[in-house]
């Protein structure tokens, strides 16, 4: 159902509030640069520090700005199943086309608990689900065997895989075939994952360089492996710079340098340290993103 280059959107903020004008402008720019789907209110969108009211506001604004030109896959996960169901229902009412569901963080459920968590959401909210596995952030790993079980649920259509290895994506595809779309959640290995069967990415880098990420996927999809590989290596220094501090600190810093939005963050995130910021600026200059 979902494929291509998708952006895990940052949430623009100004003076402690959601900057709705900057958010709408960001959506318009992303679509104009060739991005295939938008993913608001994920980790990159600082979902952990958004109120429930803000969460709904961001999704509604993105849906409105997108105007059905690309799908909106709304982050609606939680480490509480009941809260994830409530957020998912709100996202559906806001007009989201699908839901991004992170594994429950901190409470470290068993594989059976993970299965029951996602099944409960699938049964409660009739929207396509994209499972999101990022063990480095959550302390919880959704194993290939559990993903294969979840693939039997009709509404589970994709996995954002941020385990960080090519082997894990191969293990999932070996068990699920073409029943699920595997989407890279790790920009530094986007192209290697495409090469073993991933159908796209949910990218942080594309916040800052959407055309570069979109053209990399498009080249792969068109069978031009040489160009896809080149574009991946072109993007790799930016991927490294954008994860030199906790995401989305560098991504918001970069967008601030580009004049797209204020680089404002919410605690416990804080402004980027000066040395990595200057390295980020240098990479952006090399790519022509800033002067």
- Among 57, 160, 252, 260, the active-site one is 160
Q: How far apart are CA 201 and CA 159, in angstroms?
A: 10
- On the 0-12 / 13-18 / 19+ scale of CB atoms within 10 A, 137 is middle
Q: Which of 144, 134, 147, 200 is nearest to 167 (CA)?
A: 144
The single residue listed with the structure tokens 């605690």 is 267
The reply to whether 106 belongs to the active site is no
Among residues 4, 74, 81, the alpha carbon closest in space to that of 35 is found at 4
132, 191, 194, 260: which is the annotated catalytic residue? 132
Question: Cβ(290)–Cβ(259) under 8 Å?
Answer: no
Q: What is the DSSP letter of 263?
A: -
What sign results for the dihedral spanned by CA atoms 265, 271, 276, 282?
positive
Rounded-to-integer distance, Cα 185 and Cα 201, Å = 6
Distance CA 209, CA 288 (A): 10
Residues in Cβ contact with 225 at an 8 Å cutoff, skipping those fewer than 6 apart: 195, 219
Do 118 and 134 form a contact (C-beta atoms < 8 A)?
no
**279 belongs to the catalytic site:** no
Q: How far is CA 187 from the centre of its chain?
A: 10
Contact by Cβ (8 Å): 87, 77? yes
- Residues annotated as catalytic (active site), given as ranges: 132, 160
């Amino acid at each position: 159902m979902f494929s291509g280059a998708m952006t895990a959107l940052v949430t623009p903020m100004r003076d402690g509030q959601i900057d709705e004008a900057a958010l709408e402008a960001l959506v318009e720019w992303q679509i104009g640069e060739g991005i295939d789907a938008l993913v608001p209110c994920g980790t990159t969108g600082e979902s952990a520090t958004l109120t429930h009211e803000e969460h709904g506001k961001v999704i509604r604004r993105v849906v409105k700005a997108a105007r059905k030109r690309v799908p909106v896959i709304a982050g609606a996960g939680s480490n509480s199943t009941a809260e994830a169901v409530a957020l998912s229902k709100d996202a559906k009412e806001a007009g989201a086309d699908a839901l991004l569901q992170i594994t429950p963080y901190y409470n470290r459920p068993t594989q059976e608990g993970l299965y029951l968590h996602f099944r409960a959401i699938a049964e409660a909210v009739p929207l396509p689900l994209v499972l999101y596995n990022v063990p480095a952030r959550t302390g919880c790993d959704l194993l290939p065997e559990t993903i294969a079980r979840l693939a039997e649920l009709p509404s589970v259509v994709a996995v954002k895989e941020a385990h960080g290895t090519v082997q894990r994506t191969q293990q999932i595809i070996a068990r699920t075939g073409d029943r699920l779309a595997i989407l890279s959640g790790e920009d530094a290995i986007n192209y290697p994952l495409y090469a073993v069967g991933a159908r796209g990415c949910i990218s942080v880098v594309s916040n800052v360089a959407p055309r570069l990420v979109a053209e990399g996927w498009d080249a792969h999809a068109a069978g031009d492996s040489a160009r896809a590989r080149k574009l991946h290596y072109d993007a790799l220094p930016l991927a490294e710079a954008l994860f030199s501090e906790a995401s989305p600190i560098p991504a918001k810093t970069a967008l601030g340098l580009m004049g797209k939005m204020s680089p404002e963050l919410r605690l416990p995130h804080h402004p980027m340290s000066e040395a990595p910021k200057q390295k980020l600026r240098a990479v952006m200059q090399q790519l022509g993103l800033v002067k």
